[in-house]
Amino acid sequence: MVPLVVVKSPKSPLLLVEDVSVRRNKTDVIKDVNLKIYQGEFVGIVGPNGGGKSTLIQTILGVLKHHSGRILLSEHEPLSQGVFGKVAWVSQAAANLPKNVRLTVRELVSLGVLNHKNWWKRYLPFSSKVEEAIKMVGLSHLAHRDVNQLSGGERQRAVIARALASEADLLLLDEPLVGMDRASRSSLLKLLDSFCHEQNKTIVMISHDIGAMLQTAHRLVYLEETIWFDGPPANFPSLEELALMRGIEDVHGACEQCDDDVPSVLEVE
């Protein structure tokens, strides 16, 4: 008799990006991108301006179409029913609400619990989720305040609370630190890290603040058209090494071609 061998399947990634290329204006802006992200990870995506970071996020969301490869979120395609409510997107622009929008923090965060099943109900039976999310981002004392009266950092927290109230497993954050002062930036990063450790949320965060990402993310990805580095922050290459990888030669003894948008690791605050 043949012994029964149970082969345990390896943990499947929450997000799978396989050989993905995206064309904008007839040019490939990202090419052959491969990425596997597992639940509970905090992945920082860094790279120069125009390197394709936002394009990648928008493609994961399904807003942009890839012309080759595949993307799966918990084994479902972007925008499919299985993904509904499982992914939240927070951008810097999301916190720049128009001045004529009059919403309190609580009302803004409540929008996060609206979904296709409950939008028609007159009262949402989820107020505890809203209060919990507001508490998590430290805004309970400002819950009744008009979002336009908040500081940039507080508004960014309110937008993040809306994403948390949605109970999405995956948070995609596109430059959420822009415009925040140093204290707000560092408390937001601590908060995001605690979501991963305590609530098993998965965070993919774009930032050109390599210093902040080196100190916070569990894993760093350097994207410039394609992925040049993917690994632990401790192994992140120097800018000179990155330039060499990308075939840029050191002509003046210093890395002059490095994009201004990517601060030197030595400039880390």
Ligand X SMILES: Nc1ncnc2c1ncn2[C@@H]1O[C@H](COP(=O)(O)OP(=O)(O)O)[C@@H](O)[C@H]1O
Among 13, 51, 112, 176, the residue binding ligand X under the rule CB under 6 A is 51
**49 is a site residue for ligand X (CB under 6 A):** yes
- Identify which of residues 114 and 258 has a Cβ nearer to Mg ion in the complex: 258
**Interaction mask 97-136, ligand X, x per CB under 6 A:** ----------------------------------------
Site for Mg ion in 44-63 (CB under 5 A): 53-54
- Identify which of residues 47 and 78 has a Cβ nearer to ligand X in the complex: 47
CB 13, min distance to ligand X, A: 22
Q: Which does 29 bind (CB under 5 to 8 A by kind): Mg ion, ligand X, none?
A: ligand X
**29 is a site residue for ligand X (CB under 6 A):** yes
Torsion of CA 100, 102, 103, 104, to 10 degrees: 120
| Strands of 130-269, DSSP E | 170-174, 202-206, 219-224, 226-231
**176 is a site residue for ligand X (CB under 6 A):** no
**52 is a site residue for ligand X (CB under 6 A):** yes
**65 is a site residue for ligand X (CB under 6 A):** no
For Mg ion, the nearest residue by Cβ is 54
Alpha-carbon distance of 44 to 191, in angstroms, equals 15
Among 54, 74, 104, 226, the residue binding ligand X under the rule CB under 6 A is 54
Which are the contacts of 265, defined by CB distance < 8 A and separation ≥ 6?
Answer: 210, 211, 214, 236, 238, 239
- Identify which of residues 249 and 260 has a Cβ nearer to Mg ion in the complex: 260
- Identify which of residues 27 and 81 has a Cβ nearer to ligand X in the complex: 27
**78 is a site residue for ligand X (CB under 6 A):** no
Helices H / strands E in the chain, number of each: 7, 9
**259 is a site residue for Mg ion (CB under 5 A):** no
- Work out the number of other CB atoms within 10 angstroms of the CB of residue 93: 11
**24 is a site residue for ligand X (CB under 6 A):** yes
Alpha-carbon distance of 40 to 72, in angstroms, equals 17
Alpha-carbon distance of 53 to 68, in angstroms, equals 17
CB 14, min distance to ligand X, A: 22
CB 85, min distance to ligand X, A: 25
Give the DSSP H or E segment for 121: none
Q: Name the one range near ligand X by CB under 6 A: 45-53, 89-97, 107-115, 126-134.
A: 45-53
| Strands of 75-135, DSSP E | 87-91
Alpha-carbon distance of 77 to 17, in angstroms, equals 11
Cβ distance 46 to 262 under 8 Å? yes
Alpha-carbon distance of 168 to 84, in angstroms, equals 9
User: Which parts of this chain interact with ligand X (CB under 6 A)?
Assistant: 24-25, 29, 47, 49-55
User: Which parts of this chain interact with Mg ion (CB under 5 A)?
Assistant: 53-54
